Amino acid sequence: MIQTEKVIAFFDRLAPGWDAGMVRNEAVIKEILDNAGVSAKKRVLDVACGTGVLIPDYLSRGVASVTAIDISPKMIGIVRSKFGGEPVKFVCGDAETMKLGETFDCIVVYNALPHFRNPEKLVETLAAQLAPGGVLSIAHGMSRERINVHHTGTPEGVSDGLMPAEALASVMGKYLHVTAVISDDRMYQVCGRA
């Protein structure tokens, strides 16, 4: 079972070296952001933003704004130092329960779902913050199998593994119209539209 304090400590410890270990598949990231509807003038919520891996991608697409949220104070500190001069707002908090008092056209949860205590609560909370016609995208830049193998080395209470895409689509379908379910050897993504 996920324990919030363990997740925070884990990512605070990893934050200083996070960017050095980053591996990006540009084609997969482009496909994920295309499916998520990230484009010019959209308001984006980047959930579990880490050190801001996707922020340059959002900005290069001409989005109106980015709100970056992460539960780790050290991750938020790093992303703030990198993008403080951009149209980016930073929030340190738990996206599973935090309501930000505004709506977004695109909400992206990238490479983070296994670290949330209650994926259904996360979907419910985020769906309520989507603007009409907005898209919630939960995605990983590799397959479910590779993600689960990768997470076998994490300490207890930090990761529960990645649920099958069809199970996530079923959860998302309670709150949104599911528009994409992808789970192959390259990537994992489920999208729902408000």
With a cut of 90, say whether residue 21 has pLDDT above it: no
Number of domains in the chain: 1
| Token pair in block for residue 27 | 């084609």
The dihedral region occupied by 48, where left means phi > 0, alpha psi between -120 and 50, and beta the remainder, is left
CATH number of the domain where residue 66 is located: 3.40.50.150
Residues 81-93: tens digit of each pLDDT: 999 877 899 999 9
- Under the banding of pLDDT at 50, 70 and 90, the label for residue 41 is very high
Separation between Cα atoms, residue 165 and residue 179, nearest integer Å: 12
Neighbours of 81 (CB within 10 A): 10
Q: Domain of 53?
A: 4-193
Q: What is the pLDDT of residues 94-149, one digit of tens each?
A: 999 999 999 999 999 999 999 999 999 999 999 999 999 999 999 999 999 999 99
